[in-house]
Structure 1
Amino acid sequence: MSRNKLQDRIRLANVETKHAEQFNNLLRYVFQVTNRDLQIFGWENREITQAKLPVLKYADVVGWFDGDKLISQLAVYPFQVNIFGRIYEMGGLTGVGTYPEYANLGLMNKLMLHALTKMRGRKQSISYLFPYSIPYYRRKGWEIITDKISFEVPDTQLPKTKKVPGNVERVTIEHPDIKEIYDQFSMQHHGAMLRNKLAWEEYLRWDLDEMTVGIYYNNEDLPTGYLLYWVAEEIFYIKEMVYINEEARVGLWNFISAHFSMITLVKGDIYKGEPLSFVLDDGDIKETIAPYFMARIVDVQLFIEQYPFKKQDKDGCLIFTLSDPMLEWNRGTFTLNVDKDGTGVLHAGGTNPSLLIDIPTLTAMLMGYKRPTYLARIGRIQADEATVQFLEGLIRPEHPYFSDYF
């Protein structure tokens, strides 16, 4: 059949719970998830269909159908994130895939445009995703905003125990204090997910059944930190370490060090630009850094209206030209006015722009992942020195934190 006839035959529609098996089959094919993979993760008797059923119930899932056959799909999760203390509605893009025989028909590009348009309608002014291909998503307007630092600490280099007034208690994963601690933590960390029920399900979906939790309680019996972990073959695996103050961090590492006789190595990840080596007694450890999540501004005007710029000595104005590979409403010349309190107002139009920038770079810059001075130096923005310094004074110097996965 000719490709023109094929394009005439396919249709765009919502993917519903009745399509769960097809949704599962497409995910497994595209991401090459085998039965062996499911065994490794302890899922040999469970299907992705059941694991991902909440997606079809709570997310906005759309796809292309060839007759009754689902051939291409993506899902948008309804999430929220903390951006410099402001709560943003975020569209989490996931489940992206097309069968190879339907490739190069522009199906995914049309799905993404459809999804981004609906995000704008829901006032989700930013979208996050975990990239299977960074170049591919950069071409669609996303950019890297967080890194993952993976570390390995040999048992001989575990930190020495330090006296703290509280103690760690081991509990089950269902303990309510875990979510209470994380809620406080997420409000302290720019970029972090505010985990709703779906976010927690996604975060813990593929974890081993042996996962356990240690909660640090201070001397007033208040929970101030937790550790999700498991021990296997003399390795202490950290899924997540969350703490709302330094006392809790020390207390959790005391708990890890107490496993000295049981383990030879501790392995874990950090999702912020703060290597572990600096705070260890012996910091000569192995740490590897890799890009983690990407994001893109969906609606630049709404994003700016919510964005907390740094307070200034006087009102400021910036005229810039913005490009976007997919969204026409993010294209053109704009005028940004920022008052002394850091409130920004964006209007379309303006003359003599002093900044040329694209949407991926604007996202990385406003999220604090890369500074304006650096972006100008590597040619990602075109601006004079006065404009670069103006931007430096507007954007808070805090690196995003994001540890979730969906």
Structure 2
Amino acid sequence: MSRLDRLKMGKVETKHFQQFNELLRYVFQVTKKDLQMVGWEEREIALAKKPVLDQADVIGWFDGEKLVSQLAVYPFQVNIFGRTFEMGGLTGVGTYPEYANMGLMYKLLRQGLADMQARKQSISYLFPYSIPYYRRRGWEIISDKMTFEVRDVQLPKIRKVPGYVERLNIEHSDVRTVYKLFSSKMHAAMIRNELAWDEYWRWDVDELTAAVYYDHTHKPHGYLLYWISEDVLHIKEMVYMDEEARIGLWNFIGAHFSMVSKVVGNIFMNEPLAFWLEDGDIKETISPYFLARIVDAKQFIEQYPFRATGIERKVTLLLEDPMLEWNQGIFTLLVSGNGQGKLIQSEDNPAVSLDIQTLTTMLLSYKRPSYLAAISRLKGDEAAVDILENLIERQTPYFSDYY
């Protein structure tokens, strides 16, 4: 019997936890030194990752009793243009090198996506270790992360606001209150359940502090998550509901002028900080962050809030998918005047051809139909492209989580 014939696909359960953890550690090359640098001990990382097996859908390949390849899917939700979608958060993907090039991961991904379809998780997000690898399997870039560095002399001058800032523990309920309101307005954002919050904090340093901005009625309107190390103020995330809260939080940062030499941090939306600052000569770097893929195009379209145009719109698509046959073929997209969409099998001549990757990044508004047509990722007649352009809302995706 060959090695391939010995392998069986199955569910990875709690009893396999040690093997699951060992495979993760090997694939991602997490050493004891790495764990110690962020204040983690061996036992702590083991306990922290146990919820993956308890709450996620984890499948793998077994060679006898040995786990040799695996992936996990978290049960998450995201906000897409104000509507809540079930999202399969893909993570923990890995195969031991001696079992590579046997097609194991392709089959695991295929099964994982089929399981997501059955659970009505019509979209999947992941943080890529290789963008080309996942692009070939139907995922595409849908969000960016901008890192910035501001010297102390470039910090904005204090501006008077009616509210105030309080420093609080990161677990304070007002942090979650603000994020819940914020994520309800931010397209593509994670709607954090307990598991999502646990993952959000997982690798943070002990010194992380929350600074919450309250308006004059004492309602929380924004927060800053930060720590200070070696004269540098590090920002994990800044969230604000309005301009007043943003100014108030930057006032708080500016109050550290005599304490730090610079401020470094992340912004998860298309909002260059340089334009807002009086001295905009700062370092900014934008890089792709998360990828997504539509799992079931019909399911997704039925949930998706198209722009209400007042008249019915129709576009016939030739859709390709490198893994999933149910997303392959000719479909007619019908969108009612109030923005309700439907995707049905069709025998009409397609006006547009595209793959599932392009459909995903287009419907999440990371890239517009006109741009995708200009670079030949979307091929079709101009009238059909114009229809799609008018049907899709314009809002930059925001995603600040990591798992």
Q: Corresponding residue for 1:271?
A: 268
Deviations 1:169-213 (A, max 9, x none): 011112111111100000010000000000000011000011111
Cα distance in 2 for partners of 1:257, 1:160 equals: 7
Note the C-alpha offset of 1:310.
0.8
- Give 2:248's match in structure 1, choosing from 247, 251, 266: 251
Deviations 1:291-326 (A, max 9, x none): 000000000001000111111142111101100000
**2:187 is aligned with 1:186:** no
**2:153 is aligned with 1:156:** yes
Q: Which amino acid aligns with 1:289?
A: I
Q: Aligned runs of 1:161-310 on 2, under 5 Å?
A: 161-310=158-307
Q: Corresponding residue for 2:12?
A: 15
Q: Report the secondary structure of 1:27's partner residue.
A: helix
Q: Aligned runs of 1:5-404 on 2, under 5 Å?
A: 5-44=2-41, 46-404=43-401
Q: Which amino acid aligns with 2:247?
A: V
Cα distance in 2 for partners of 1:167, 1:394 equals: 41
Answer with 304-313 or 183-192: which moved more: 304-313
Q: Is the 8 A contact 1:23 1:49 kept in 2?
A: no
Q: Which amino acid aligns with 1:9?
A: R
Unpaired runs of at least 5, structure 1: none
Q: Report the secondary structure of 1:101's partner residue.
A: helix
Q: Which amino acid aligns with 1:385?
A: E
Cα distance in 2 for partners of 1:16, 1:345 equals: 38
Aligned length: 403
Cα distance in 2 for partners of 1:363, 1:132 equals: 19
Deviations 1:130-181 (A, max 9, x none): 0000000001100000011100000000011110011100111121111111
Q: Report the secondary structure of 1:284's partner residue.
A: coil
Note the C-alpha offset of 1:45.
5.1
Q: Report the secondary structure of 1:161's partner residue.
A: coil
Q: Is the 8 A contact 1:321 1:357 kept in 2?
A: yes
- In the TM superposition, structure 1's runs of 4+ consecutive aligned residues that sit over 6 Å from their partners are none
Cα distance in 1 for partners of 2:156, 2:337 equals: 45
Cα distance in 1 for partners of 2:341, 2:171 equals: 42
**TM-score normalised to the size of structure 2?**
0.99
Identical residues among aligned pairs (%): 63
Cα distance in 2 for partners of 1:400, 1:386 equals: 26
Cα distance in 2 for partners of 1:181, 1:337 equals: 37
Q: Report the secondary structure of 2:210's partner residue.
A: strand
Q: Which amino acid aligns with 2:69?
A: S
Q: Is the 8 A contact 2:87 2:125 kept in 1?
A: yes
Note the C-alpha offset of 1:350.
3.1
Q: Which amino acid aligns with 1:24?
A: N
Q: Is the 8 A contact 1:319 1:350 kept in 2?
A: no
Q: Which amino acid aligns with 1:59?
A: A
Cα distance in 2 for partners of 1:87, 1:313 equals: 23
Q: Is the 8 A contact 2:32 2:42 kept in 1?
A: no
Shift of the 46–208 alpha-carbon distance from structure 1 to 2, 3 Å rule, reads farther
Q: Is the 8 A contact 1:41 1:207 kept in 2?
A: yes
Q: Report the secondary structure of 1:188's partner residue.
A: coil
Report the RMSD for the aligned CA atoms in angstroms: 0.9
Cα distance in 2 for partners of 1:286, 1:369 equals: 23
Cα distance in 1 for partners of 2:153, 2:41 equals: 36
Q: Report the secondary structure of 1:249's partner residue.
A: helix
